Amino acid sequence: MRLDRWFKVHFPGLGFGPLQKLLRSGQVRVDGGRVKSDARVQPGQMVRVPPLDVDAKLKSGPIAGKDLKHSSDFELLSRMVLHEDEKVIVLNKPPGLAVQGGSGVARHIDQMLEAWISPKGEKPRLVHRLDRDTSGVLVIARTRGAAQKLTAAFRERDTKKTYWSLVKGVPRKHEDKISTWLVKEPTADGDRMRIAKHGEDGADHAVSYYRVVETAAQRLAWLEMEPYTGRTHQLRVHALHIGHPIIGDPKYFDDDPNWDFPGGIQKRLHLHARHIDIPHPSGGRLRVTAPLPPHMVQSWNLLGFDENSAPIRDDEA
């Protein structure tokens, strides 16, 4: 196997940047010779590894609330990695972890990325955002040049982002386009978006697409959602706008006395960035899928939903 893959298996706590530094300085050798990360390691070869200040038994599995409080930045980030190369990192962000700082935010990914500063002193960069309570695919640029290309891809809408959600009720149309204007309003609980009129001061146009994947007794629906624009809380507001708010949404799901919250389902936001298809800075396209967070796995199991019911379609793969 490739040498970098060998290290990921045997030393999962060692990040991409630190490994590159060890290889460039000749501290890692194969059969006594210097090597690069893409070198192939053959059975019987001797890999020389210097003493490493990393945990070879890095935890695996879903990231729980206690992990967010007690694990180091390096360990948490390493556990989130779905894809990693010289230009791009793709994380599976857990729900409850903010992407950037703000009022009441003690820990966030932008700050945590200091743990991954390269030997050249370059810190990985955010190129898009996810809401704090939304889980799933988050793309990070390793270099300034990669950040420019990835940011341009988002700005020019040369990306395809697919979200999974669980909503109250079942939309009348199996699939549809939602087109509205949105405006941000400050509230006691933080900023909240609302539907605005065309031409209203500060309003932005927002377009989303959805399709119903499966339903549960006409009480709940699993939606595959795709934001064409990238406005704050866009999918959450659009779900509410069509009369089917996302289950567990603390801002946009209002309790209805005529509707009982399903037993066994956690009151946590059921919105997950499932898949992204984006141009890679080095050419070609990068396609990454993120596993569901534990509270959504629990709901899917309870409702008898099969994750394979919404495969990545031909135009996405």
pLDDT digits (tens, 9 = 90+) for 52-72: 765 545 555 677 777 777 778
- pLDDT above 80 for 242: yes
- Classify domain 161-303 at the CATH superfamily level: Pseudouridine synthase (3.30.2350.10)
Q: How many CB atoms within 10 Å of residue 261?
A: 12
Confidence at residue 55, expressed as pLDDT on a 0 to 100 scale: 52
Q: What is the pLDDT of residue 208?
A: 97
What local confidence, expressed as pLDDT, does residue 137 receive?
97
User: Mean of the per-residue pLDDT values for the chain?
Assistant: 88
Average pLDDT score over residue span 272-279: 97
Domain ranges of the chain: 3-55, 66-157, 161-303
Q: Following DSSP, what letter does each residue of the chain receive, concatenated?
A: -BHHHHHHHH-TTS-HHHHHHHHHTT-SEETTEE--TTPBPPTTPPEE-----S-TT---SPPPHHHHHHS-HHHHHHHHEEEE-SSEEEEEEPTT-BSS--TT---BHHHHGGGG--TTSPPPEE-S---TT-EEEEEEESSHHHHHHHHHHHHTT--EEEEEEEEES--SSSEEEEEEEEEEEEETTEEEEEEE-TT-TT-EEEEEEEEEEEEETTTEEEEEEEESS--TTHHHHHHHHTT-PBTT-TTT----TTSPPPTT--SS--EEEEEEEEE-TTSSEEEEE-PPPHHHHHHHHHHT--GGGSPPPGGG-
Question: What pLDDT score does 317 carry?
Answer: 42
**pLDDT tens-digit profile of 289-317?**
999 999 999 999 999 999 888 876 544 44
Instruction: Give the mean model confidence (pLDDT) for residues 232-254.
Output: 94
Instruction: Look up 131 and say whether it is catalytic.
Output: yes
Give the pLDDT confidence score for residue 60 in this predicted structure: 59
What's the pLDDT at 59? 59
Lowest mean pLDDT among 109-113, 173-177, 214-218, 312-316: 312-316
Distances (CA, A) of 43 to 32, 33, 190, 201: 15, 16, 57, 66
Domains 66-157 and 161-303 fall in the same CATH topology:
yes
Higher pLDDT, 39 or 271: 271
Which of 4, 131, 249, 277 is flagged as catalytic?
131
Is the per-residue pLDDT at 221 higher than 50? yes
Q: Tell which CATH classification among 3.30.2350.10, 1.10.1060.10, 3.40.50.10420, 2.102.10.10 matches the domain 66-157.
A: 3.30.2350.10
pLDDT at 22: 87
When pLDDT is averaged across residues 259-265 and rounded to a whole number, the result is 84
State residue 166's pLDDT score.
98
- Model confidence at 87: pLDDT above 50: yes
pLDDT tier for residue 136 given thresholds of 50, 70 and 90: very high
